[in-house]
Amino acid sequence: MPEAPTTCSITNIAALVTNDPAQGDGSPLGIIEDAALVIEGDTVAWVGPTHRAPAADQTHDAGGKAAVPGFVDSHSHLLYAGDRTQEFNARMSGRAYTAGGIRTTVRATREATDEALAATLAAHLREMRAQGTTTVETKSGYGLSPEHEARALRMAARTPGMEEVTYLGAHIVPPEYAADPDAYTALVAGDMLDACAPYARWVDVFCEQGAFDEDQSRTILTAGKAKGLIPRVHANQLTHGPGVQLAVEVGAASADHCTHLTDADVEALAGSSTVATLLPGCEFSTRAVYPDARRLLEAGATVALSTDCNPGSSYTSSMPFCIAIAVREMNMTPDQALWSATAGGAQALRRTDVGRLTPGCRADIALLDAPSHVHLSYRPGVPLVAEVWQAGVRG
Ligand code: NIG
Ligand code: FE
């Protein structure tokens, strides 16, 4: 008989966000006050008021902290080398963001050793974990050749804690294909896809003026689907474009950025299962206009929040920072922002095992030095994440 897994009870939680409306206060966040949570092995076994907590092998006193599901960062670009400080400085002096700087990072990434790439990835994962993130998606997109894209994705796929991996060969057309972008599209949808598909679950395209147009994007997403990858799209970041409509058309799990939306785009998202993933760090770091999350939510769309962590447009790994900006600048309530950074991210990754703290879910928990999750936006910039538990293990 295999031994029963150890049980551990976290008690004395001031307010536990479960994201299960059937729990606690009955709000979408399902908040239980003076709560306990029992972990069995790597899984949540029980949640409820402390005074009703069942006995466990071990007890951990949360000391009156608030607890939230570990953040689900469903959009990042961590497979890169180099630095774009100069570009950021130029932008803060008035220069516009054009995404042309991606080529600077491509040059540095191609020159980097495997060890250097792996070290950067590991450092970002540690940084994210310390800020409460327990599920991470990341993309290729700074290699832009079959060899360099596959190398990055292979590395991601074998890195512990790097759970969701996305093929973004269609980030921008590399200089060697500048004269023939359609030939590059054919490569991304052909040999490069063949080399990359074994390491990825998702296929992404930067559908934007100056990157990939609607037809090129459709070709790549359709080819990815035929290989078993699920689409997601960088959509409507710099301009009103076809990205959101295309994402809905191909059944993408998520349309990301959504900075420039028409009413028809909002309606299309609301009438689909495609999640609108908003990336407030990007508007912050590019001095762009923030999208209005309330407009999407009132229409009935599902909204996720993510960092978009990358060295160009959003060099932050902090979900708490993104939550705070989304509340202040995107018309979200603290409850909506917390939901989008946890359950919303899980939905954008089609995951049901993370983003909630209910029996059967993975025991991914962030304990906050605060009496409630509202402090994440009420006290912006303050390092409130005190403890992170990942799959039942306190890190
Ligand atoms: O999501 N827009 C495309 N890709 C990234 C930016 C990449 C870069 O500037 O290096 C984004 O913002
Ligand atoms: Fe991105």
CA 171 to ligand 1 centroid distance, Å: 8
Instruction: Look at strands 365-368 and 385-390 and give their pairing.
Output: antiparallel
Report how far residue 42's alpha carbon sits from residue 337's, in angstroms, rounded to the nearest whole number: 26
Q: Biggest alpha carbon distance in the chain? A: 69
Residue 249: helix, strand or coil by DSSP? helix
Chain position carrying tokens 């095992």: 353
Report how far residue 75's alpha carbon sits from residue 348's, in angstroms, rounded to the nearest whole number: 9
pLDDT of residue 248: 98
Query: Please, which residues have CB less than 5 A from ligand 2, an ion?
Result: 308
pLDDT of residue 161: 92
With beta carbons less than 8 A apart as the criterion, state whether 11 and 32 touch. no
Q: Whose CA is nearest to atom 12 of ligand 1?
A: 313
166, β-bridge pairs: 139, 202
CA 391 to ligand 1 centroid distance, Å: 31
Residue 210: helix, strand or coil by DSSP? coil
Which residue among 120, 234, 287, 305 is best mutated to probe the pocket of ligand 1, counting the most ligand atoms within 8 A of its Cβ?
234
| pLDDT tens digits in sequence order for the chain, 395 residues long | 667 789 999 999 999 999 999 999 999 999 999 999 999 999 999 999 999 999 999 999 999 999 999 999 999 999 999 999 999 999 999 999 999 999 999 999 999 999 999 999 999 999 999 999 999 999 999 999 999 999 999 999 999 999 999 999 999 999 999 999 999 999 999 999 999 999 999 999 999 999 999 999 999 999 999 999 999 999 999 999 999 999 999 999 999 999 999 999 999 999 999 999 999 999 999 999 999 999 999 999 999 999 999 999 999 999 999 999 999 999 999 999 999 999 999 999 999 999 999 999 999 999 999 999 999 999 999 999 999 999 999 99
Angle between helices 114-130 and 146-157 (to 10 degrees): 40
Ligand 1 neighbourhood includes 99 CB (under 6 angstroms)? yes
Tokens of 198: 């074994």
| Numbered residues of the known binding site for Fe(3+) | 75, 77, 234, 308
Chain position carrying tokens 């990359």: 196
CB pairs under 8 A, 24+ apart, for 191-194? 191/146, 192/145, 192/146, 192/149, 192/150, 193/167, 193/169, 193/220, 193/223, 193/224, 193/227, 194/146, 194/227
Query: Which among 166, 345, 107, 113 has a CA at the least distance from the CA of 353?
Result: 345
pLDDT of residue 4: 79
Tokens of 257: 């950025």
Q: How far is CA 285 from each of CA 6, 101, 344, 349, rounded to the nearest angstrom?
A: 45, 14, 23, 25
CA 99 to ligand 1 centroid distance, Å: 6
Is this structure's pTM higher than 0.90?
yes
Ligand 1 atom at minimal distance to the Cα of residue 97: 9
CA 256 to ligand 2 centroid distance, Å: 7
Tokens of 389: 């538990």
Which residue among 207, 313, 322 is best mutated to probe the pocket of ligand 1, counting the most ligand atoms within 8 A of its Cβ?
313
CA 175 to ligand 2 centroid distance, Å: 20
Report how far residue 31's alpha carbon sits from residue 337's, in angstroms, rounded to the nearest whole number: 15
With beta carbons less than 8 A apart as the criterion, state whether 284 and 258 touch. no
Nearby residues of 299 by Cβ (< 8 Å), 6 or more positions away: 266, 267, 269, 270
Ligand 1 neighbourhood includes 206 CB (under 6 angstroms)? yes
Nearby residues of 210 by Cβ (< 8 Å), 6 or more positions away: 98, 99, 100, 172, 238
Q: 7-70+355-394 belongs to which homologous superfamily?
A: Urease, subunit C, domain 1 (2.30.40.10)
Looking at CATH, the fold of the domain delimited by 71-348 is given as TIM Barrel (3.20.20)
Phi and psi based region of residue 130 (left: phi greater than 0; alpha: psi -120 to 50; beta: remaining): alpha
Mapping DSSP onto H, E and C, the string for 114-141 reads: HHHHHHHHHHHHHHHHHCCEEEEEEECC
**Domain(s) of CATH 2.30.40.10: residues in the chain:** 7-70+355-394
Ligand 1 neighbourhood includes 310 CB (under 6 angstroms)? yes
Which residue among 120, 204, 284, 310 is best mutated to probe the pocket of ligand 1, counting the most ligand atoms within 8 A of its Cβ?
310
Chain position carrying tokens 């071990």: 58
Q: Kindly calculate the radius of gyration of the chain based on its CA atoms and give it in whole angstroms.
A: 21
Q: Which-ligand-closest: CA of 310?
A: 1
Tokens of 352: 């049901």
Task: Give burial (CB, 10 Å; 0-12/13-18/19+) of 224.
Answer: buried
With beta carbons less than 8 A apart as the criterion, state whether 216 and 181 touch. yes
| Numbered residues of the known binding site for Zn(2+) | 75, 77, 234, 308
Ligand 1 neighbourhood includes 334 CB (under 6 angstroms)? no
Query: Which among 19, 54, 18, 50 has a CA at the least distance from the CA of 34?
Result: 50
Report how far residue 279's alpha carbon sits from residue 164's, in angstroms, rounded to the nearest whole number: 18
**Domain(s) of CATH 3.20.20.140: residues in the chain:** 71-348
| Numbered residues of the known binding site | 75, 77, 84, 142, 171, 234, 237, 308, 310, 312-313
CA 220 to ligand 1 centroid distance, Å: 18
pLDDT of residue 1: 61
